[in-house]
């Protein structure tokens, strides 16, 4: 509730009516710079997600995702502003989603997720845009087509009515007008992966708040989670980030989806721990990066790890532990050696330390694993045809 203040969140109540068409029926969630609400669009008679940004934020995603038109990317269908006691708030309207892949469990066998993700990133790059924040939490599983057919009453019957938690001040004083009288527990629209049919297993690549166009803007700092953050953000902080930064985070995310666990691990890890893990798996850092790492460590008396120069846990070992064993536990056939080798080869190329050595998104899409092996373990061929992929390689990934 501390974010409900001048420059912060806008206070919303179930039943609020925005922009003469959007009636709030539930809460979807919140982030540092926004709250997100499920609303019924009474013009189109559909459900929408209304993202209400904090008054002091500058929602960059409206500048990027409004220019992207693709079935795998949630288009911003409307933008408007509301004035409240905490300031002026930009509101972005998109289609709602079922859940993020961070919330989905045991769905790693659906190879279509990885293919769709790769197609989406290739398209984003072909439009001259770097996403800048690719991870499982920003990859959404879309809702079924019949979701819009639910009335509000049917929605509440299936998913539950909004749960309101009273807001009280510790000093017992009256709640000010910039703070809601009740907090709303977010609705859970997710389902068990076994209840999601294959035709419904479609993703949306979301959250373009960190996206940028390298030909018009230079960006030097990465805000992706540390576990998937590209190493050049640490070792080359004066060099602008590029499309290749997305390729690194994409590789980590693909592993995360396939194995249902992160490639690099650590709940409370730091930069030094992360570099050590990267070296353990990928081998020595570039010489100038290794020199810089030693300098950083010499200045940090608390550092405990020693720079490594060789890999200590092989890709094959990790694949066996994270991928094969989990499939066997779930009663699914293990990956064949051909697919394993093609998968590891693809990720190795995407996780090269030097950004200029990584493949473009188009090249990844044309890799052996993406172009042929991605269907080997597909238990059904009932997918609708995918849109053709442009063979325009787009901007240079260096």
Which residues are part of a known binding site for ATP?
51
Binding residues: 51
Nearest alpha carbon to residue 149 among 158, 139, 162, 140: 158
Residue with tokens 């209400």, as numbered in its chain: 52
Q: Which ranges constitute the DSSP H helices of 107-162? A: 112-126, 152-159
Q: Is 266 left (phi over 0), alpha (psi -120 to 50) or beta?
A: left
As given in the structure block, the two tokens for residue 362 are 């188009």
As given in the structure block, the two tokens for residue 126 are 């072909």
Q: Which helix (H) or strand (E) holds 214?
A: none
As given in the structure block, the two tokens for residue 77 are 């269908």
Mode of pairing for the β-strands spanning 17-18 and 22-31: antiparallel
Return d(Cα 158, Cα 162) in angstroms, integer.
12
Return d(Cα 45, Cα 34) in angstroms, integer.
25
Return d(Cα 128, Cα 138) in angstroms, integer.
20
């Amino acid at each position: 509730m501390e974010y409900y203040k001048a420059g912060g969140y806008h206070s919303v109540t179930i039943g609020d009516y925005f922009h003469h068409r959007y009636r709030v029926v539930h809460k979807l969630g919140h982030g540092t710079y926004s709250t997100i609400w499920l609303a019924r669009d009474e013009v189109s008679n559909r459900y929408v997600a209304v993202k209400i940004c904090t008054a002091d934020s500058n929602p960059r995603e409206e500048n990027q995702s409004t220019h992207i038109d693709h079935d795998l990317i949630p288009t911003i269908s409307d933008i408007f502003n509301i004035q409240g006691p905490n300031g002026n708030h930009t509101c972005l309207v998109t289609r709602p989603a079922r859940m993020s892949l961070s919330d989905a469990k045991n769905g790693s066998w659906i190879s279509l997720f990885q293919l769709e993700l790769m197609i989406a990133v290739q398209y984003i790059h072909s439009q001259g845009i770097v996403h800048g924040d690719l991870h499982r939490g920003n990859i959404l599983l879309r809702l079924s087509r019949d979701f819009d057919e639910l009335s509000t009453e049917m929605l509440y019957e299936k998913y539950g009515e909004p749960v309101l938690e009273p807001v009280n001040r510790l000093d017992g004083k009256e709640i000010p007008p910039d703070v809601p009288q009740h907090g709303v527990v977010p609705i859970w629209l997710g389902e068990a992966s076994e209840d999601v049919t294959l035709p419904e297993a479609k993703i949306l690549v979301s959250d373009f708040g960190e996206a940028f166009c390298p030909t018009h803007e230079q960006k030097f700092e990465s805000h992706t989670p540390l576990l998937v953050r590209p190493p050049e953000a640490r070792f080359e902080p004066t060099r602008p980030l590029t499309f290749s930064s997305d390729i690194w985070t994409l590789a980590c995310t693909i592993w995360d989806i396939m194995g249902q666990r992160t490639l690099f691990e650590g709940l409370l890890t730091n930069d030094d721990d992360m570099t050590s893990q990267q070296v353990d798996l990928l081998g020595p850092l570039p010489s100038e990066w290794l020199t810089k790492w030693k300098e950083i460590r010499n200045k940090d008396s608390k550092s405990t790890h020693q720079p490594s120069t060789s890999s200590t846990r092989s890709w094959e070992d990790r694949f066996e532990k994270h991928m094969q064993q989990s499939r066997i536990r779930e009663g699914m056939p293990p990956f064949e050696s051909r697919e394993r080798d093609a998968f590891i080869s693809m990720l190795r190329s995407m996780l090269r330390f030097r950004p200029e050595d990584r493949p473009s998104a188009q090249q990844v899409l044309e890799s052996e694993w993406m172009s042929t092996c991605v269907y080997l373990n597909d238990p059904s061929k009932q997918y609708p045809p995918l849109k053709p992929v442009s063979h325009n390689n787009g901007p240079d990934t260096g």
